């Protein structure tokens, strides 16, 4: 009997905010159940650390230069084949509920699904609008709970049917601006969350891109991110706008000698500060408090789905996967966002349970990436993996029989687009089990039309074992010239394999390296 496949994808859920990964900052008993009864995978990486491209890679099993969904602004062409279409044609009942974020309208809406209900764009936390095949309507309630109930309803209706089912449950949470359900108002009180060791990172010994990115907790969050009332008035009173055409203003960073007073939107409580560091840490605590509270409702939802499988006798023959569309910075390096190939936003949580084949309590550090997901679904469904897909089935990795020729290398490419909000520069690179090589080519618009931002391209090389927080760039260290050359060769081979176009000239890079060494 072919297995059912349930794929639960959250938005911006860092593995550090899942207790099974051991960071100790929160407790997610239901997600942890997948690790206890299945596998916790520790080396799943995203091909492009941002929502829309990651979702396209998952659906199509291809890298973003192939599926053409390179940025938030490039929506999927839904005439392309995707894994849901293959599963549906192969005898599966298919459904998707929640966040789609691959575009709207007849050219971009979900295809390959028997049933679908998706939120427009990012979706709302409360009383969210949903788009159904027959039209759009708002549903009262909390987005996470609504998406959970739609998913449970699908399972209950499909249980015992003639066809196995494939369901994608795509939560909107815990994406910015972290509106939590009041049932979690009393957990993770601000002030109780440990500060990451790299919160005060000064970005020395790194590419310039790290320093210029506008993703800092201390200076780049807006009032609603933190549940604070935005003051009325101009920039001199209320701080700079987030971007020119939005009404949202950033909560200003405090300079020495200044004071500030902010108002909690929920309670009306007023907080005053005269110490810049205390104010930065206050923001971190409010950010994390809100983030972790939204995560808790997702954990409830996972519990509901697992309980439904138990009640229906489907646990043994259903593959349940929990992951996120990328990682996320939870204050590491002083940041709160994603986009970068640095480890915290690059690594995706990946937990999978399939009692019929995957040993309970297993872990793995074999490198995988999100283009491998679609081939994995098809493999378990007993269907051929189409030759256009660029990933490889993770089945051996998950069952403890990793093939000897498994490629322990992940590729990442982030294309810059009109992103005045975050100022994250374009880069690509590879990571193997120890080393990470990143090339910051720094286009503003990348493949949409080069517009160099004036910054010189830079390389970064990190020893992920000795320097897990990636604080020391070894790219110009003569002692690591050999490693640099090896990783450059791996990058070139990977780009040739997947057909991506390089912005660097390896011969020139190696000649310069020889001159320096
Ligand atoms: Ca995301």
Delimit the domains of the chain by residue range: 411-512
- The pLDDT of residue 418 is 61
Burial of residue 316 (CB within 10 Å: 0-12, 13-18, 19+) is exposed
- The pLDDT of residue 444 is 58
Three-state SS at 273: strand
Whole-number Å distance, alpha carbon 54 to ligand 1 midpoint, is 8
| Structural element, H or E, at residue 430 | strand 427-431
Q: For tokens 């100022």, what's the residue?
A: 423
What CA–CA distance (Å, rounded) separates 426 from 443? 6
3-state helix/strand/coil string of 23-34:
CCCCCCHHHHHH
Of residues 151, 125, 143, the one with CA closest to residue 307:
151
Whole-number Å distance, alpha carbon 11 to ligand 1 midpoint, is 4
Whole-number Å distance, alpha carbon 327 to ligand 1 midpoint, is 8
Ligand 1 (ion): residues with CB under 5 Å are 11-12, 51, 325
Cα separation of the two ends of the chain:
60
Whole-number Å distance, alpha carbon 312 to ligand 1 midpoint, is 32
Of residues 480, 154, 86, 144, the one with CA closest to residue 309:
154
- The pLDDT of residue 241 is 86
Q: Would you tell me how many other CB atoms lie within 10 Å of the CB of residue 245?
A: 7
In whole angstroms, what separates CA 333 from the centre of its chain?
17
What are the residues whose beta carbons fall under 8 Å from the beta carbon of 31, sequence distance 6 or more? 18, 19, 20, 298, 299, 302, 322, 351
Whole-number Å distance, alpha carbon 375 to ligand 1 midpoint, is 22
Cα dihedral 210, 212, 213, 217 sign? positive
- The pLDDT of residue 455 is 82
Whole-number Å distance, alpha carbon 50 to ligand 1 midpoint, is 5
What the block records as the tokens of 322 is: 């929990």
Whole-number Å distance, alpha carbon 26 to ligand 1 midpoint, is 20
Q: For tokens 């939870």, what's the residue?
A: 330
pLDDT tens, N- to C-terminus, the chain (517 residues): 999 999 999 999 999 999 999 999 999 999 999 999 999 999 999 999 999 999 999 999 999 999 999 999 899 999 999 999 999 999 999 999 999 999 999 999 999 999 999 999 999 999 999 999 999 999 999 999 999 999 999 999 999 899 999 999 999 999 999 999 999 999 999 999 999 999 999 999 999 999 999 999 999 999 999 999 999 998 888 888 888 778 899 999 999 999 999 999 999 999 999 999 999 999 999 999 999 999 999 999 999 999 999 999 999 999 999 999 999 999 999 999 999 999 999 999 999 999 999 999 999 999 999 999 999 999 999 999 999 999 999 999 999 999 999 999 999 999 876 677 888 989 999 999 999 999 998 875 544 444 556 788 999 999 999 999 999 999 999 999 999 999 999 999 999 999 999 999 999 999 988 765 4
Q: Would you tell me how many other CB atoms lie within 10 Å of the CB of residue 103?
A: 18
Whole-number Å distance, alpha carbon 12 to ligand 1 midpoint, is 4
| Structural element, H or E, at residue 307 | helix 276-311
From residue 37, how far is each of 6, 264, 455, 512 by CA, in Å? Answer: 15, 41, 49, 51
Q: Would you tell me how many other CB atoms lie within 10 Å of the CB of residue 161?
A: 10
What CA–CA distance (Å, rounded) separates 20 from 351? 9
Our CA dihedral for 235, 240, 246, 247, rounded to 10 degrees, sits at: -40
- The pLDDT of residue 399 is 98
Q: For tokens 């990946």, what's the residue?
A: 350
pTM given for the model: 0.97
Q: Would you tell me how many other CB atoms lie within 10 Å of the CB of residue 222?
A: 20
Whole-number Å distance, alpha carbon 346 to ligand 1 midpoint, is 11
Buried b (16+ CB within 10 A) or exposed e, 486-508: ebbebbeebbeebebeebbeeee
Whole-number Å distance, alpha carbon 1 to ligand 1 midpoint, is 34
Whole-number Å distance, alpha carbon 173 to ligand 1 midpoint, is 9
Is the bond leading into 136 cis (omega within 30 degrees of zero)?
A: no
What the block records as the tokens of 246 is: 């939005």
From residue 195, how far is each of 136, 160, 192, 217, 343 by CA, in Å? Answer: 42, 48, 9, 12, 18
What are the residues whose beta carbons fall under 8 Å from the beta carbon of 421, sequence distance 6 or more? 214, 242, 243
Q: In the CATH hierarchy, which top-level class contains the domain 411-512?
A: alpha beta
- The pLDDT of residue 517 is 47
Whole-number Å distance, alpha carbon 256 to ligand 1 midpoint, is 35
What CA–CA distance (Å, rounded) separates 139 from 132? 12
């Amino acid at each position: 009997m072919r297995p059912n496949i349930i794929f639960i994808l959250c938005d911006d859920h860092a593995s550090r905010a899942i207790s099974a990964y051991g960071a100790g900052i929160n407790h997610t008993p239901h997600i942890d159940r997948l690790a206890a009864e299945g596998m916790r995978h520790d080396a799943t990486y995203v091909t492009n650390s941002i929502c829309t491209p990651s979702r396209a890679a998952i659906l199509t099993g291809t890298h973003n230069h192939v599926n053409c969904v390179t940025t938030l602004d490039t929506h999927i062409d839904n005439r392309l084949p995707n894994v849901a279409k293959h599963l549906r044609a192969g005898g599966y009942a298919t459904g998707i509920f929640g966040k789609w974020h691959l575009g709207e309208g007849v050219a971009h809406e979900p295809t390959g699904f028997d049933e679908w209900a998706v939120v427009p764009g990012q979706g709302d936390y409360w009383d969210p609008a949903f788009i159904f095949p027959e039209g759009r309507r708002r549903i009262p309630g909390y987005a996470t709970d609504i998406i959970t109930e739609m998913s449970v309803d699908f399972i209950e209706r499909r249980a015992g049917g003639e066809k196995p089912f494939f369901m994608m449950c795509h939560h909107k949470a815990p994406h910015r601006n972290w509106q939590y359900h009041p049932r979690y108002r009393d957990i993770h009180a601000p002030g109780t969350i440990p500060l990451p060791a790299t919160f005060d990172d000064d970005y020395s010994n790194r590419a310039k891109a790290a320093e210029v990115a506008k993703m800092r907790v201390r200076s780049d969050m807006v009032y609603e991110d933190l549940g604070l009332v935005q003051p009325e008035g101009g920039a001199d009173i209320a701080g700079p706008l987030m971007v020119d055409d939005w009404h949202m203003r950033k909560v200003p960073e405090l300079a020495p000698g200044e004071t500030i007073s902010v108002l909690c939107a929920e309670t009306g409580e007023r907080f005053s500060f005269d110490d810049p560091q205390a104010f930065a840490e206050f923001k971190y605590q409010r950010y994390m408090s809100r983030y972790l509270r939204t995560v808790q409702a997702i954990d409830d939802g996972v519990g509901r789905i697992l309980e439904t499988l138990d009640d229906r006798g489907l646990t043994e023959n259903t593959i349940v996967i929990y992951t996120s569309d990328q990682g996320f910075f939870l204050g590491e390096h002083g940041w709160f966002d994603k986009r970068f190939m640095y480890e915290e936003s690059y690594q995706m949580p990946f937990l999978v349970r399939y009692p019929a084949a995957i040993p309970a309590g297993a872990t793995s550090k074999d490198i995988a990436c999100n283009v491998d997901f679609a081939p994995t679904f098809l493999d378990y469904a007993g269907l051929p993996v189409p030759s256009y897909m660029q990933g490889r089935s993770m089945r051996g990795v998950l069952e403890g029989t990793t093939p000897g020729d498994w490629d322990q290398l992940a590729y990442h490419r982030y294309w810059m687009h009109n992103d005045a909000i975050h100022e994250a520069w374009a880069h690509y690179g590879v990571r193997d089990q120890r080393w990470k090589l990143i090339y910051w080519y720094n286009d503003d618009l990348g493949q949409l039309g080069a517009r160099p931002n004036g910054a010189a391209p830079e390389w970064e090389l990190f020893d992920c074992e000795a320097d897990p927080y990636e604080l020391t760039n070894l790219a110009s260290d003569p002692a690591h010239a050999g490693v640099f050359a090896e990783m450059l060769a791996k990058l070139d081979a990977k780009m040739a394999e997947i057909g991506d176009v390089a912005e660097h000239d390896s011969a020139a890079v190696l000649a310069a390296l020889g001159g320096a060494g």
